Amino acid sequence: MVDKKILETYINKAHILTEALPFIRDFNDKTMVIKYGGSALINPEIKETIIKDIALMKFVGMHPVIVHGGGPEINSFLKKLEIESKFINGLRVTDEKTMEVVEMVLAGKVNKQIVTDIELNGVKAVGLSGKDGGTVIAKKIESDIDYGYVGTVDHVDPTMLKSLIKSDIIPVIAPIGKDEHGNTYNINADYMAVAIAGALNAEKLVYLTDVPGVMKDINDPSSIISFIKAKDIPSLIDEGVISGGMIPKVECCLEAVKEGVRNVHILDGRIKHCLILELFTVDGIGTMIEKE
Amino acid sequence: MVDKKILETYINKAHILTEALPFIRDFNDKTMVIKYGGSALINPEIKETIIKDIALMKFVGMHPVIVHGGGPEINSFLKKLEIESKFINGLRVTDEKTMEVVEMVLAGKVNKQIVTDIELNGVKAVGLSGKDGGTVIAKKIESDIDYGYVGTVDHVDPTMLKSLIKSDIIPVIAPIGKDEHGNTYNINADYMAVAIAGALNAEKLVYLTDVPGVMKDINDPSSIISFIKAKDIPSLIDEGVISGGMIPKVECCLEAVKEGVRNVHILDGRIKHCLILELFTVDGIGTMIEKE
Amino acid sequence: MVDKKILETYINKAHILTEALPFIRDFNDKTMVIKYGGSALINPEIKETIIKDIALMKFVGMHPVIVHGGGPEINSFLKKLEIESKFINGLRVTDEKTMEVVEMVLAGKVNKQIVTDIELNGVKAVGLSGKDGGTVIAKKIESDIDYGYVGTVDHVDPTMLKSLIKSDIIPVIAPIGKDEHGNTYNINADYMAVAIAGALNAEKLVYLTDVPGVMKDINDPSSIISFIKAKDIPSLIDEGVISGGMIPKVECCLEAVKEGVRNVHILDGRIKHCLILELFTVDGIGTMIEKE
Amino acid sequence: MVDKKILETYINKAHILTEALPFIRDFNDKTMVIKYGGSALINPEIKETIIKDIALMKFVGMHPVIVHGGGPEINSFLKKLEIESKFINGLRVTDEKTMEVVEMVLAGKVNKQIVTDIELNGVKAVGLSGKDGGTVIAKKIESDIDYGYVGTVDHVDPTMLKSLIKSDIIPVIAPIGKDEHGNTYNINADYMAVAIAGALNAEKLVYLTDVPGVMKDINDPSSIISFIKAKDIPSLIDEGVISGGMIPKVECCLEAVKEGVRNVHILDGRIKHCLILELFTVDGIGTMIEKE
Amino acid sequence: MVDKKILETYINKAHILTEALPFIRDFNDKTMVIKYGGSALINPEIKETIIKDIALMKFVGMHPVIVHGGGPEINSFLKKLEIESKFINGLRVTDEKTMEVVEMVLAGKVNKQIVTDIELNGVKAVGLSGKDGGTVIAKKIESDIDYGYVGTVDHVDPTMLKSLIKSDIIPVIAPIGKDEHGNTYNINADYMAVAIAGALNAEKLVYLTDVPGVMKDINDPSSIISFIKAKDIPSLIDEGVISGGMIPKVECCLEAVKEGVRNVHILDGRIKHCLILELFTVDGIGTMIEKE
Amino acid sequence: MVDKKILETYINKAHILTEALPFIRDFNDKTMVIKYGGSALINPEIKETIIKDIALMKFVGMHPVIVHGGGPEINSFLKKLEIESKFINGLRVTDEKTMEVVEMVLAGKVNKQIVTDIELNGVKAVGLSGKDGGTVIAKKIESDIDYGYVGTVDHVDPTMLKSLIKSDIIPVIAPIGKDEHGNTYNINADYMAVAIAGALNAEKLVYLTDVPGVMKDINDPSSIISFIKAKDIPSLIDEGVISGGMIPKVECCLEAVKEGVRNVHILDGRIKHCLILELFTVDGIGTMIEKE
């Protein structure tokens, strides 16, 4: 039998578990799409806590769905294979050789590693790209410039994802799709996450980023805005509160809300357990954009 | 945005949540019968934590089933109604009038109060007695002495309980049954819990008691035995390690194990969050009797 | 082998069974809510026939749901416990102590007795109050006078009832509910039956009363009106055909019809087998209010 | 409102309905195969009561399955078409032309008429021959004499029958089967009923015959034996209690019991409502052969 | 091992199988009602290929439903039985005796023969008339002339058909129905097929006829029109392109399209494998009337 | 309308389709594991026919499951990345870097390409490695030599595969697994196919190889043995009929048969449509090893 003091600590721990009850209750049986990228994917210490958060989400009755990025790994392999990339307007011009490497790294390395990490926590996961199960039908981005195999989502068929979710297997999805002729396209993971969250009628879409969230003063992390109504975003952009690199992110959020996702979260993926902190506390740690 | 120190506290809390993962994983979809009585049922402060524990168990995927007692309330009402009770060998001789009061208090007061308390935490519960759904078929206890309507369990039909569990409703059961002629019997809640746990093939049967567990030295709570193999119990009784009032309790445990329950726990129901402490920590706080 | 004359009697009996065919066919798989109170609940001889009627309804494919009252038993126990009641406008001012007794008697005595009686006929039943499964969410009645724990139905969640009906278990419901803070309320059984019949989209709501039905001349039982269209009720009240104590009853019926119940019956619960007589004969014995 | 005396009559009728409860309860969800032939099929007045009995059986939760004969109709059409039949050992030598007529009359006339009659009572029925759904695989009877298309049952595939029963449609089956080459065979309806009852694990197989049942004295209908244990049949034959034309009938019963049917009944199909009389009264009107 | 040349032949055969892929894919899980009559039903050589086509349709995932005619057989039996028929306006005046023979031949002979033929290919089929399962409710045709038991479809209850289709059993339906009084009617098979295809929301209704299809020049089979839009039919009739005996056929098609059938095909049932040829090739061999 | 000669060709084609009926019938709803490697995977012309064969198998009701290899691609990438491999006893010593490339090529390139090819034919497929869904638990091969991440199958959890098969999605599996610590292993695809076929209780396991099958005379392709009973294999090896490189292949077959697979086929994957040729013709083109 543990002594009184240790028992007290344990009771505190148990108390903390039950504090999570209202959140567990509210999000029960809800689909949560997580865009997983940036530091959260690279820093091993952070990564471990996030993977545990995902496992916990599953165990307490939510349905996490992961859409991941994989930037640095791609560059590293392209370099090793001495394939050079041209960038126009920040987009990588993607020829067939490059696309091949991008797919191998995303679908054959990053993706399967996330699956392995999750399964170590006793949950089942499956590594997919948008090509599997005819899930993501892509099309070449429209532009005067030929970016090669850079695509956007034409539409999503969520049938297979739903069946896997129902079987309690966490889908981990690489941001790749194919068109009706079988051509493979590299898709921006942020937009891919929007399309998938929309097709699944997700309760939440959560972005793990390398910034604290939407801030009133970009240099002051304490100026973070916890809640924004979707309808207030246009005026926030007009007023310059949302500016710079945050604008495309927030436009993704708006798009997601329009496609039927209830809330979109922008989190600091550099904080340990950031998922649990955002989902299981009243104020959270990042910014939540609400549909209504 | 919270400051660094508070964030640290939150991260610690999140960490504690994920520490529970292995236990949540192991007990997923398992039925846990809880004999709920003694101080745990009376002390409001303790009660609140135990109800929360039960709600948490449900939310993380277990199927708690409650069998409750109700001693003091029964005496109080019998007294108010000026019905006197004769006791022989510690058993209350139960005539028709007494049985009527026992049933009203157990099924109409204690039972419905537990249901109310659980439902305040956002989980569904249903208050039943063994008479409902033909669940517990009782028979008069065999004895030379006529104890009146004091019965034992003849057999259990778990059909309705299983259907309620499948619908994610927690059954809360008063220790009352009826025989095939419609006679009502008062049943010892400890034995009722055994019969129900057996019929449901429960993973665990947990006794909330007013002692710390099975102790080597009855006067030294720190001498508690954390694990006992069912097959070692007879010799522990012979050696006098298990003695006195603990013997009938332990015999219940043996019976439960024989009926197919995997583990039986004897806990100190006077400790806050005792259910979580026992189920979600490696050593637990009480005594666990193992089938094998 | 029976002799010719006896055989003739038997053949007649068989013929009577098959006469019921058209009614059995029409009400197959239909939900029938029965407000069970008054003499039908008290007179043992009548009671026996009504319980048999309910069992037969179940066996031939209908889904009876019972909502019961329990007046005299409550008074008797309040008296024994020397709790006095103040009545204002015919409503009992219900303090906490009184509510406790009301709940014990309704949910712990009357309710479980009906379950026992039904199950003796080989059908499964389950005794519930509106508190179970979060079925009936109540609220305090609105009034300048404080009646204490006297409530009305705010809304009904029929999920658990439907699941029990699907499992072929007859729900027997005490007219008690709780609000979102866990407070218990005593609810008028007539209105409770309306709310439950509405939430279940019942085919019929049947009131067992101590009058023959709606009569043209209140002193002449032979003046009973067999069928009334719901839309004709207001003018019948205006013309004084429906008057006095019959008005609130009939308003219940109107409310039920508005909530989606197809027919409401007002029967004389003092007649043996009154349920079968009303449901299995062309004209019935009471008054049927039709939606259209 | 009906007057007192008429009400009394009605209450009696209602009482008779509830008297059937124990039988309804016991036979709920049980499959009952009825061999329907002889006078019961020809006499229109009797027929009407038997069809009503079958409809009632369905409505109160049993699953009747009809296997019918059709002797006189076949002869009448063969005569009209001037096809002569040779009989050897009581069996009709069945050439292709004869078989064609037999099938048309059984499957196209008698069968569809029974379906029509049943459906007039509000129950669904479907007319089949053993050829449908690959249900009855027949083979030519083994004999030194060539009887043509006279067959026995090789085996039964009950898949389609079970699916129809589950959809609450009463199968009405003509005693015809085909072999694996597509040849059509006429099968003795008594044996066909045995094979189908066996394949469906029927609770009962009921023969409607033109005799009162098994009688001790063949000239004294009052000497009928109500219950016979299957194991006692051989000695009853030895002792001459069962003799003559009753022997093959009783051997059918024995075979059915061996194939898993629980009880086999031999009834007098010349009595109105004979099915209800046998099934819904304690002693019945015919002879019941019990498995154990 | 086969030699090179034979292997080449085999590879060609395999190639032909895979050529069918796009058609198999498009018609997967679709219901196809086939009106089966004329030469296709009489010529044994043709018949064999059509039956095989039906079996193949089933095996590759379509749901064929057969509605058959039976003209010549009926005449032959009426003649043998010396029953004379009067014809008015091309309709047979059908008295009770005639109707009896019509039903026996259609439901007891033609129908069961088709079932036998299909089942020889390893698929399950069931022979029905519209009377079975209360599927086709008929009514007497409206006319000043009394044609006796000549009826039209009042409405179709597709419940049983759907349940059989779901169980992978092919329904084979004789064009007979009954009214609510149990009277039997002979129904034009072309119209019966329309009503059934409509009630099943069929993808296709296919008429096997004795003409090549709709032709521009009735004397030139090569003038066949492969595709007609439903909306163009009235003008095609006005222009005289569709004329004579083709008009009622085409009006059936229009009716079917109005009832929700997507395409209606008029095929030459005198061509071997005409079903496969029409369904598994781009242009088909007959005329397809398209909804849109 | 096509002319007579072309029509004749079409009729022949239709005839060929219906010739496949018996095979389609026999393999309906059966699981077929195909080890897909060698020339069949490399030669684009052959590949196209095999992918079509797989699509056809799916459409006619079989459940193909693909396990693929990928040798040449792996070597090519290792070379490009200047990673050298040491081979001992024919096994590649696989360090972490090598394993990384192997996984990327197999799971990120070869695997996804097969998925894309299959989906172009209108069937859904999903690209997996044994790591997904915890399907293949691997362990390091036991040996005195340290081959690094070269593993064998410890056990297979077929849950996810079965759920995908039930959803009509073809699993395409890369021969990679992980152990309980999350280490990734390269597994021999032939053995992986055996383990998966066993866990799925497959009807057939089909090896696409670069030899014609088991031949009596290794230099004479016409000496191929079409059928071998599993029990005869040991003596065939003793007699030298099976020798050299064919021995390990045949041992795989024996193992598969032992694990519950009914037939194992060794085919010449260099022949177009070899799958259809083997499965849809009586003798097939390769060697079939039969369980019994």
Q: CATH code at A185?
A: 3.40.1160.10
Q: What is the mean pLDDT of residues D203-230?
A: 90
Which chains have at least 3 CB atom pairs separated by less than 8 Å from chain F? A, E
Domain presence at residue F23: no
Query: What residues does B148 pair with on adjacent strands?
Result: B94
Residue of B nearest to C105 (CA): B104
CB environment A239-273: b (16+ within 10 A), e (fewer): eebbeeebeebbbbbbbbbebebbbbbbbbbbbbb
Please say if the pLDDT value at position B292 is more than 90: no
Among A98, A169, A78, A93, which Cα is nearest to A132's?
Answer: A169
Q: What is the mean pLDDT of residues F224-234?
A: 93
Number of neighbours of residue E74 by Cβ within 10 angstroms? 22
Banded model confidence at residue B1, pLDDT cuts 50, 70, 90: very low
Banded model confidence at residue C1, pLDDT cuts 50, 70, 90: very low
Please say if the pLDDT value at position E1 is more than 80: no
The 10s digit of each residue's pLDDT in D238-282 is 988 888 878 888 999 999 999 999 999 999 999 999 999 999 888
Structure token pair of residue B169: 């409703």
On average, the pLDDT of chain B sits at 93
Supply the pLDDT for residue B2.
55
Name the minimum distance, in Å, from the CA of C184 to any CA of chain B. Answer: 9
The 10s digit of each residue's pLDDT in D67-76 is 999 878 999 9
Q: Which of B4, B6, B17, B220 to mutate to test the interface with A (most CBs of A within 10 A)?
A: B17
Residue of D nearest to E119 (CA): D134
For the question of an ipTM over 0.85, the answer is yes
The 10s digit of each residue's pLDDT in F186-209 is 999 999 999 999 999 999 999 999
Residue of D nearest to C53 (CA): D18
Instruction: Give the torsion through C-alpha atoms of F257, F258, F260, F266, to 10 deg.
Output: -20
Hey, which bits of C16-108 come out as E strands?
A: 31-36, 63-68, 87-88, 91-92
| Cβ-defined contact of C285 to D7 (cutoff 8 Å) | yes
Which residues from D are below 8 Å from C7, CB to CB?
271, 277, 285
Structure token pair of residue E108: 């007891």
Domain presence at residue C19: no
Q: How far apart are CA A21 and CA B122, in angstroms?
A: 9
Q: Which residue among E53, E224, E271 places its CB closest to the CB of F18?
A: E53
Choose from B193-197, B235-239, E5-9 the range with maximum mean pLDDT: B193-197
Q: What is the 3-state secondary structure (H, E, C) of E133-149?
A: HHCEEEEECCCCCCCEC
Please say if the pLDDT value at position C250 is more than 80: yes
| Cβ-defined contact of C59 to D1 (cutoff 8 Å) | no
Q: Which residue among D80, D109, D120 places its CB closest to the CB of E103?
A: D109
Three-state DSSP at A179 gives coil
Q: What is the mean pLDDT of residues E4-27?
A: 86
The 10s digit of each residue's pLDDT in A91-104 is 899 999 999 999 99
Q: What is the mean pLDDT of residues B47-65?
A: 95
Q: Which residue among F104, F124, F182 places its CB closest to the CB of A116?
A: F182
N-terminal to C-terminal alpha carbon distance within chain D: 52
Structure token pair of residue F32: 């077929």
Do chains E and A touch, with touching meaning 3 or more CB–CB pairs less than 8 Å apart? Answer: no
Supply the pLDDT for residue F271.
93
The 10s digit of each residue's pLDDT in A107-163 is 999 999 999 999 999 999 999 999 999 999 999 999 999 999 999 999 999 999 999
Supply the pLDDT for residue A169.
97
Q: How far apart are CA B123 and CA B170, in angstroms?
A: 8
| Cβ-defined contact of B18 to A49 (cutoff 8 Å) | yes
Banded model confidence at residue E71, pLDDT cuts 50, 70, 90: confident
Q: How far apart are CA E224 and CA E232, in angstroms?
A: 16
8 Å CB contact between D265 and D287: yes
The 10s digit of each residue's pLDDT in E230-260 is 999 999 999 888 888 788 889 999 999 999 9
| Cβ-defined contact of F11 to E277 (cutoff 8 Å) | yes
On average, the pLDDT of chain E sits at 93
Domain presence at residue A11: no
Residues F262, F263, F264, F268, CA torsion sign: negative
Lay out the sheet containing D63-68: strands in order across: D124-129, D169-174, D63-68, D31-36, D204-209, D263-268, D287-290, D227-229
| Cβ-defined contact of A7 to B285 (cutoff 8 Å) | yes
Q: How far apart are CA F173 and CA F127, in angstroms?
A: 6
Q: How far apart are CA F227 and CA E260, in angstroms?
A: 52
The 10s digit of each residue's pLDDT in F234-262 is 999 998 888 887 888 899 999 999 999 99
Banded model confidence at residue F1, pLDDT cuts 50, 70, 90: very low
Residue C215 phi/psi, 5° resolution?
A: -115, 145
Question: What amino acid is encoded at E25 in this protein?
Answer: R
Structural domain count of chain F: 1
Q: Which residue among D1, D10, D122 places its CB closest to the CB of C222?
A: D1
| Cβ-defined contact of F17 to E272 (cutoff 8 Å) | no
Q: Which residues of F touch A (CB under 8 A)?
A: 80-81, 100, 103-109, 111-112, 115-117, 119-120, 124-129, 131-134, 159-160, 163-164, 167, 169, 176, 178, 181-182, 184
Q: Which range marks the domain in which residue E273 is found?
A: 29-290
Q: What is the mean pLDDT of residues E191-202?
A: 97
Among D164, D184, D16, which Cα is nearest to D101's?
Answer: D184
Higher-confidence position of C265 and F10: C265
The 10s digit of each residue's pLDDT in A209-249 is 999 999 888 788 888 999 999 999 999 999 888 888 788 88
* A263-268/F184-187 β-pairing: unpaired
Three-state DSSP at A196 gives helix
Structure token pair of residue E22: 């796009």
Supply the pLDDT for residue A240.
87
Banded model confidence at residue F157, pLDDT cuts 50, 70, 90: very high
Q: What percent of chain B has pLDDT over 90?
A: 77
Please say if the pLDDT value at position F2 is more than 60: no
Domain presence at residue A56: yes
Burial class (CB in 10 A: 0-12, 13-18, 19+), D12: middle
Q: Which residue among D55, D277, D283 places its CB closest to the CB of C14?
A: D277
* E204-209/E31-36 β-pairing: parallel
Domain presence at residue D5: no
Among F172, F161, F212, F152, which Cα is nearest to F35's?
Answer: F172
The 10s digit of each residue's pLDDT in B209-239 is 999 999 888 788 888 999 999 999 999 999 8
User: Which residues lie closer than 8 Å to F262 by C-beta, 6 or more apart?
Assistant: F202, F203, F204, F290, F291
Domain presence at residue C235: yes
Q: Which residues of D touch E (CB under 8 A)?
A: 80-81, 100, 103-109, 111-112, 115-117, 119-120, 124-129, 131-134, 159-160, 163-164, 167, 169, 178, 181-182, 184
Which residues from F are below 8 Å from E16, CB to CB?
13, 16-17
Supply the pLDDT for residue E2.
55
Assign residue C78 a region: left if phi > 0, alpha if psi is -120 to 50, beta otherwise? alpha
Supply the pLDDT for residue C2.
55
Domain presence at residue F62: yes
Looking at chain E, how many residues does it have? 292
- Angle ∠(D142,D147,D149) on CA atoms, nearest 5: 90
Helix (H) or strand (E) holding C267: strand C263-268
Domain presence at residue B161: yes
Banded model confidence at residue F283, pLDDT cuts 50, 70, 90: confident
Number of neighbours of residue A237 by Cβ within 10 angstroms? 16
| Pairs of CB atoms within 8 A across A/B | 130
Question: What amino acid is encoded at E226 in this protein?
Answer: S
Residue E175 phi/psi, 5° resolution?
A: -80, 65
Q: What is the mean pLDDT of residues C242-264?
A: 91
Banded model confidence at residue D2, pLDDT cuts 50, 70, 90: low
Which chains have at least 3 CB atom pairs separated by less than 8 Å from chain E? D, F
On average, the pLDDT of chain A sits at 93
Cα C208 → chain centroid = 6
On average, the pLDDT of chain F sits at 93
On average, the pLDDT of chain C sits at 93
Q: Which of E3, E21, E225 to mutate to test the interface with F (most CBs of F within 10 A)?
A: E21
Query: What residues does A227 pair with on adjacent strands?
Result: A288
